[in-house]
Structure 1
Amino acid sequence: MGVDVSWRIILCALLVLLFAEDSSAREITRIRWKEVDDDTHGQQHNPEIPDLQQLSKDNHLPIKHKGSQKHAHAHLSSHMDHMDPSDKIFFTIKDLKVGNAIPIYFSHRDPSTSPHLISREEANSIPFSLAKLPYLLEFFSLSKESPQAKAMEYTLTQCEARPMEGETKFCATSLESMLDFAQATFGMDTQVKALTTNHLRKSVAPLQNYTLLEEPKEILAPKMIGCHTMPYPYVVYYCHSQEGGNRLFEISLGSEHGGRVQATGVCHMDTSKWDPDNPSFRVLKIKPGTAPVCHIFPADNIVWVPLIS
């Protein structure tokens, strides 16, 4: 689904949205994460304690560890020999035909469970640095061995790792800063289109065959920015723009169990600089640079493109 808007309209809408949030969002978030931290029996299933390996797959991001600078499409080094069902998020551009069925894994992450938005002023008042992690854990009342601490370390490590060649990246701690990054990428006076994936009718099973119900609509754009939500006590978006050619599509999907998804998908046309261990190559049985790799954006991601007049 796409919405055509100008920068001024976006900023007005953001102000309304931000003021609609309780000004004590930070305190609410601190309490919520602390309660989850204390609930040792609920950690595995609480939606706010993400599976970092699955999160990386869903968002098409790596897991970078401190001291590691493998480039941006690296993945966990400990791959299983068998096919993990959650790896089924990749397909080829040849699959985008009406009536074709594609096995796709949609995680059960609910965007409504995400942490609260906070204002730029409040976000800027809190350090956002891996070096400040001990202070941040104390600030949010979290133990250093907790799942939340691991999630925060993951996010900060991702955000501080250097971009791969041809990539421009930025971690936005408020929607205003996300728009600043988009403006810097597209130009101050450029109108934009925001794209998301919407589950019109949800299915229970995460992995199903999805049939293309209509001819995919290609969104023609010279550049695109993908913004992925990251695990953190407040909203953080990992936003990046990649050179090398991307083709963006709006795709109408119907699952074998009655689910309906209006999805935003991207096909990366040049994968020659990707890490050979990227799971997409194993799933699609291809090698880097030999064929485009496509995937669907999760529902809590945002894709920004400039409007072409």
Structure 2
Amino acid sequence: MSIKISLRSNAREIIEKPVGNDYTHSGILKEDHFGPHGLDPALSDFFRVGDLYLGKKMPIYFEAKGDSNPTHLLSQDEANSIPFSSSRLPYLLEFFSISNSSPQAKAMETTLHECEHKLDKSEFKFCATSLESMIDMTLGVFGKVKPKVLTTKIFSSNHTFFQSYTFVKKPLEIYASKMVACHPMSYPYKVYYCHGHKAHTDRLFKIALRGENGERVDAISVCHMDTSMYDRDHVAFRVLGGQPGYPICHFLQANHLAWIPSA
């Protein structure tokens, strides 16, 4: 079987910050990462539940509206033909012609370990290497209810990555009995890290934003109402203040997915 796969040029990003933009694990804030608005752009998507109001202004970093990862989801047959295990990493590096001392190799190792890491009993997770597996495992969470996917949409042909945005409409809460959030990982082909809480305490919002340059974004955001299982040094508490148990919210990037049961 011949599989054409291109590597991400920015594979090293996963080494420097936690998985996806949900920041399940604690990150490191460095002074030289801080941008013109006084904070690291990559951490600007955190906010508080009390910020959900018409007219709220905040600096936010949004990646390009297209997926910056040029790779694609494999078919189920292709994914099944390639091992996906940290125990097979030496074979995988040889298979993809990647040097074992390269940033790409470190990114692959990190991704595999994150996918194999055991979570608290109150949480669930899976890593999807194909669209079929993502849908099948999401249905395993929802049951036989057809899933619906939500994403952040950027309406601009000349996107500005980091700028001040204003909430131009009252945030619209999207009510869902369950949710599966999926975040792309650094890997030679597309892999999504999907997770959620068994006792669904998260709140989901659609927020209409307008940038200082007039750019429009319909953003999906998640508010984690119960953070009691988070570490005290979780990066969100470093950005917002507070401690485990305090609700925290964040925006989803345009290439991240939120699955909910369809009505």
Q: Same fold (TM over 0.5)?
A: yes
What do residues 102-126 of structure 1 show as CA deviations (whole Å, max 9, x unaligned)? Answer: 2222245840643022110110010
Q: Does the 8 Å contact 1:137/1:144 carry over to 2?
A: yes
* 1:264 Cα deviation after fit: 0.7
Residue 293, structure 1, aligned to residue 241, structure 2: no
For 2:146, the equivalent position in structure 1 comes to 191
Among 68, 80, 83, which residue is 1:124 paired with? 80
Q: How many residues align?
A: 256
* Aligned mates of 1:201, 1:276 — CA distance in 2: 38
Aligned residue in 1 for 2:260: 305
Supply the distance in 2 between the matched residues of 1:217 and 1:109 (Cα, whole angstroms).
Answer: 21
Normalising to structure 1: TM-score of the pair?
0.76
| Distance 1:112-1:131 versus aligned 2 partners, 3 A rule | same
Counterparts in 2 of 1:97 and 1:279: CA distance versus 1, 3 Å: same
Matches within 5 A, 1:25-64: 26=3, 28-29=4-5, 32-33=6-7, 46=9, 48-53=10-15, 56=18, 58-61=20-23
| 3-state secondary structure, aligned to 1:295 | strand
Residue 202 of structure 1, CA deviation? 5.9
Q: In structure 1, how many angstroms separate the alpha carbons of the residues matched to 2:237 and 2:158?
A: 27
Equivalent position to 2:176, from 214, 221, 232: 221
Whole-angstrom distance in 2 between the partners of 1:273 and 1:202: 41
Residue number among 226, 231, 244 corresponding to 1:275 in the alignment: 231
Q: 1:125 to 1:196 in 2, by over 3 A?
A: same
Counterpart of 1:43 in structure 2 is none
* Matched residue type, 1:219: I
Q: One-letter code of the match for 2:168?
A: L
- Per-residue CA shift, 1:170-202, capped at 9, x if unaligned? 0011010001111110012x1222100111126
Q: Distance in 1 between matches of 2:15 and 2:59?
A: 20
Kindly indicate whether residue 99 of structure 2 is the aligned counterpart of residue 143 of structure 1: yes
Are 1:179 and 2:135 an aligned pair?
A: yes
Q: What is the CA deviation profile of residues 147-183 of structure 1, one whole-angstrom value per residue up to 9, with x for unaligned ones?
A: 2111111110110000134111000110100011111
Q: Which residue of 2 aligns with 1:211?
A: 166
Contact 2:20 2:185 in 1 (8 A): no
CA RMSD of the aligned region, Å?
2.2
TM-score scaled by length of structure 2: 0.89
Q: Which 5+ residue runs of structure 2 have no aligned equivalent?
A: none
Q: Which moved more, 1:292-301 or 1:237-246?
A: 237-246
SS at match of 2:118: coil
Structure 2 residue 29 is the aligned partner of structure 1 residue 74? no
Contact 2:115 2:126 in 1 (8 A): yes
Q: 1:204 to 1:182 in 2, by over 3 A?
A: closer
Q: Which amino acid aligns with 1:117?
A: L
Taking only the aligned residue pairs, the percentage that are identical comes to: 45
**Cα distance in 2 for residues equivalent to 1:145 and 1:53:** 13
Deviations 1:114-139 (A, max 9, x none): 30221101100100000100000000
Matched residue, 1:247: 203
Contact in 1 for aligned 2:185/2:191 (Cα 8 Å):
yes
1:238 aligns to 2:200 (yes or no): no
Alignment partners' CA distance in 1, 2:85 and 2:19: 24
C-alpha separation in 1, matches of 2:238 and 2:19: 13
Q: Equivalents in 1 of 2:148, 2:172: separation in Å?
A: 14
Q: CA deviation at 1:283?
A: 1.4
Secondary structure in structure 2 of the residue aligned to 1:300: coil
Alpha-carbon contact 1:58-1:297 (below 8 Å) kept: no
Unpaired stretches in structure 1, ≥5 consecutive residues = 1-22, 37-45, 62-72
Contact 1:127 1:136 in 2 (8 A): yes
The code of the aligned residue for 1:103 comes to P
1:111 is paired with a residue whose SS is: coil
Determine helix, strand or coil for the equivalent of 1:56. coil
Residues 164 and 203 of structure 1: is their aligned pair in 2 closer, same or farther, counting only changes over 3 Å? farther
What secondary structure, in the 3-state scheme, does the structure 2 residue paired with 1:251 have?
strand
